[in-house]
Amino acid sequence: MNSKTIATYLLVALTLLLVFTCVKIATTSKKEFVLAQEHLAKNELSKSITHYERALHWFLPFSKTPYLAAEKLWSIAQKLQTQNKNAEALKTYRILRSSFYSVRSTYTPGKKWIDLCNEKIAHLMAVNFTDSKENQKATFAEKKSQYLILLEEDRTPFTFPSIMSEIGFFGWVSSILLFIFKALSPQGHVKKRPAMFFVSSFIVFYCIWIWGLLNA
């Protein structure tokens, strides 16, 4: 088996792995959404919220399911708020908000939902909580504004680690491909110097990838 054949098999394997991963994410998100719908139909709000949250966490760009789950969480939170169940409503708004933050990478999806939740959370906290003596003297509008400022602080991932994780990922994948093309002869024999170089580059880029993931 020559190096080009090995490279072809490897590319096919990587493509299949990517497709499988995307299908797994999409189907699991859909499954969680269906479970949430079933619990909601039985008026089991706590269980439905849990499964909507899971559907959102299995986030795949361009998939509609996480955004449908967001709509449902928003609807539940509003209903709880109209019933004066403010603590439960606040918890649900926070779940919706944190779910989008948990799936961010170099960009933050669901910015519209985050902004809407910030407004609701600030409102409910201003109504129900006073965390200092100075705050007790503040008007409702002042307290809400203070909470809103805290909620709207930029919490995007550190850009440098995020970029490095992407560089590391493509680097170690490229090292494998280059090893096949450059370090293997057509007869399948290993060329020592190129092999050592590409194995070393694989280790370096793999470590960069892991570091970026841990620090993003």
pLDDT in tens, 155-164: 665 567 777 8
Domain that holds residue 135: 23-156
Per-residue model confidence as pLDDT tens digits over 104-140: 876 788 999 999 999 999 999 998 875 555 566 778 8
Q: Outline where the chain has alpha helix (H).
A: 3-41, 45-57, 65-82, 86-102, 111-128, 133-137, 140-151, 159-182, 192-215
* Rounded CA separation 75/77 (Å): 5
| Residue 58 located in a structural domain | yes
* Rounded CA separation 112/117 (Å): 9
Residues 81 and 131 in one domain: yes
Per-residue model confidence as pLDDT tens digits over 2-52: 556 666 666 777 778 778 888 998 999 999 999 999 999 999 999 999 999
Backbone φ and ψ for 190, nearest 5 degrees, come out as: -90, 130
| Residue 1 located in a structural domain | no
Residues 35 and 128 in one domain: yes
| Residue 197 located in a structural domain | yes
| Residue 17 located in a structural domain | no
Residues 124 and 187 in one domain: no
Strand runs labelled E in the chain: none
Which of 156, 175, 205 marks a domain boundary? 156
Q: Can you tell me which residue has the tokens 């994948």?
A: 173
Distances in Å between the alpha carbon of 99 and those of 52, 103, 117? Answer: 10, 7, 11
The better pLDDT of the pair 68, 191 is held by 68
Q: In the predicted model, is pLDDT for residue 175 greater than 60?
A: yes
